[in-house]
């Protein structure tokens, strides 16, 4: 993707609202996937695996090679030694081989290699599948990280709104208490109590805003944006939204089939088995058919004349391993051990996945219960605050009681926000450990 296209894509993923840039969950996911170095590495592994498969396929076809050599000799070759009695014959039977050229064009076709070529192709296929699963797993991991960061920002935005509301509430109360003090119906202590709570609320407001800024930086970093970029989030955390997050039942075997890391380990076990077959192929005979055209200068066919000459030849080679001091056999045994290790790793991973799923289910149930309790507590706190405000207006409730009611409402609202965001994140976590595609629930 060129630079201009990348810029255009990023602009399309932003929605301009009143001059501010607003990011949706889907746009954050796409930005993160497009900018993730881990995903790019996984994509390159897929490309490498594709080339490996092509290389393995090529082993089925004839190989055409050309070889050429040249060497210079100090002396010519004579069939007879030097003789004073037969000088003419000695001279006739001397061949000029001081400069020798030779070459051969060879066509080699494997006929039987002990299953080695077929095994190499199967191994290349398994490696390609593993690379694909690794890529999909990397995408889902980055999407899960973005979702967590995104909903954390949403939660902290709600916390900032709550902090602003609490400050505004105390400002109103402070104004009313000061008016009552001027009228002589409130004490200086009442004014100071409200002022202390207002200062605490403003400090909490500052912390909430700082936390939101840090969370936005983390989300921007995941999305490949500058951490100083200013943006808004499209979603808001509504306590009225009810999530239907618990699945009716979980088939753990179905989970194994969906988990890409488990699929990778299954392919790794099969890859180990193919490695066994590869080791076995080294112990079996190998038959290769060879065709060649060879030429030399001097011409070996016609009296060592200083010209090129050559011809065709066809043949076959049979190689039968007989004795290698147990080397090939021990390689086979080592491959079998590696297969056993791969199976144990797979079994351990499956047990861990089952544990993850059961824990995620339990945490999600707890989160659902926590939401119900938090919502009920918030409703009670709101009613208590209304009664305290009415009582204060009628002069039958002290300022301390009103402050306590306001603080209880703020605490209950914060706990409700935490419970709802924990439920959403718990749902995301369960989807992840079950190998489900993450959605926008």
**383-406: average pLDDT:** 91
Please indicate, yes or no, if residue 117 is contained in any of the structural domains.
no
331 assigned to some structural domain = yes
In a domain? residue 116: no
Taking only the tens place, the pLDDT of each residue in 297-318 is 877 776 667 778 788 899 999 9
pLDDT tens readout for residues 261-270 = 999 999 999 9
| Residue 319, strand partner residues | 286
Task: Return the pLDDT at 392.
Answer: 87
Please check whether residue 85 lies inside any domain of the structure: no
Categorize the per-residue pLDDT at 248 as very low, low, confident or very high, splitting at 50, 70 and 90.
Answer: low
pLDDT above 50 (res 2): no
Percentage of the chain surpassing pLDDT 70? Answer: 88
Give the separation between CA 203 and CA 211, rounded to whole angstroms.
12
Asked if residue 271 has pLDDT above 70, the reply is yes
pLDDT at 6 (0 to 100): 43
Q: Is 417 within the bounds of a domain?
A: yes
**pLDDT for 76:** 72
Residue-range definition of the domain harbouring residue 332: 3-35+126-284+326-433
Cβ atoms of residues 282 and 379 within 8 Å: no
Q: Which residue has the tokens 């618990």?
A: 246
pLDDT digits (tens, 9 = 90+) for 202-246: 999 999 999 999 999 999 999 988 888 888 888 888 877 766 666
Spell out a b/e string for 297-311, using b for 16 or more CB atoms within 10 Å of the CB, else e: bbebeeebeeeebbe
Whether residue 231 is contained in a domain is answered as yes
Residue 18 has pLDDT above 80, yes or no: no
What is the total count of domains within the chain? 1
Q: Tell me, what DSSP letter sits at residue 36?
A: -
Distance CA 36, CA 34 (A): 6
Q: What is the number of alpha carbons within 13 Å of residue 10 lying toward its C-beta?
A: 17
Mean pLDDT of all residues in 274-299? 90
pLDDT, averaged across the chain: 87
Q: If pLDDT is split at 50, 70 and 90, which confidence band does 89 have? A: low
90 located within any domain: no
Residue 41: both structure tokens together: 């590495």
Burial class for 141, CB neighbours closer than 10 Å (0-12, 13-18, 19+)? middle
Model-level pTM?
A: 0.81
Who wins on pLDDT, 111 or 6?
111
User: Residue 24 and residue 421: Cα distance in Å, rounded?
Assistant: 17
pLDDT (mean) for 408-425:
93
Assign residue 352 the CATH number of its domain: 1.20.1600.10
Whether 341 has a pLDDT exceeding 60, the answer reads yes
Closest CA to 411 of 162, 145, 87: 162
The answer to whether residue 300 sits within a structural domain is: no
């Amino acid at each position: 993707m060129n630079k201009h296209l990348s810029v255009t894509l990023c602009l399309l993923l932003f929605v301009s609202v009143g001059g501010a840039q607003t990011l949706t969950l889907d746009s954050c996911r796409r930005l993160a996937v497009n900018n993730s170095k881990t995903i790019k590495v996984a994509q390159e592994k897929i490309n490498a695996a594709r080339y490996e498969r092509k290389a393995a396929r090529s082993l089925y076809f004839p190989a055409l090679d050309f070889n050429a050599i040249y060497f210079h000799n100090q002396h010519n070759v004579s069939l007879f030694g030097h003789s004073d009695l037969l000088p003419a014959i000695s001279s006739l039977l001397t061949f000029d081989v001081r400069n020798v050229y030779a070459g051969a064009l060879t066509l080699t076709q494997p006929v039987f290699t002990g299953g080695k070529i077929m095994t190499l192709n199967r191994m290349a296929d398994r490696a390609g599948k593993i690379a694909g699963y690794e890529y999909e797993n990397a995408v889902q991991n980055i999407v899960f990280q973005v979702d967590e960061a995104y909903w954390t920002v949403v939660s902290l935005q709600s916390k900032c709104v709550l902090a602003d509301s609490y400050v505004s509430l105390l400002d109103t109360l402070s104004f009313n208490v000061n008016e009552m003090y001027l009228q002589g119906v409130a004490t200086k202590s009442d004014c100071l109590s409200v002022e202390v709570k207002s200062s605490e609320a403003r400090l909490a407001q500052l912390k909430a805003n700082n936390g939101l800024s840090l969370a936005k930086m983390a989300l921007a970093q995941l999305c490949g944006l500058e951490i100083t970029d200013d943006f808004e989030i499209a979603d808001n955390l509504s306590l009225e939204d009810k999530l239907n997050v618990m699945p009716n039942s979980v088939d753990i075997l179905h989970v194994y089939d969906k988990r890409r890391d488990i699929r990778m380990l299954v392919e790794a076990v099969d890859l180990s088995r193919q490695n066994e077959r590869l080791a076995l192929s080294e112990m079996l005979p190998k038959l290769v058919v060879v065709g060649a055209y060879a030429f030399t200068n001097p011409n070996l066919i016609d009296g060592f004349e200083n010209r090129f000459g050559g011809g065709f030849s066809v043949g076959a080679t049979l190689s039968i391993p007989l004795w290698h001091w147990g080397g090939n056999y021990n390689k086979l045994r080592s491959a079998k051990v590696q297969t056993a290790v791969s199976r144990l790793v797979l079994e351990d991973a499956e047990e861990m996945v089952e544990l993850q799923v059961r824990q995620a289910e339990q945490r999600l149930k707890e989160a659902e219960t926590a939401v119900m309790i938090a919502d009920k507590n918030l409703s009670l706190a709101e009613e208590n605050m209304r009664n305290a405000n009415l009582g204060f207006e009628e002069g039958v409730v002290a300022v301390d009681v009103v402050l306590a009611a306001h603080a209880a409402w703020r605490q209950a609202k914060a706990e409700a926000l935490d419970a709802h965001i924990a439920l959403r994140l718990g749902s995301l976590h369960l989807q992840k450990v079950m190998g489900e595609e993450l959605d926008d629930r």
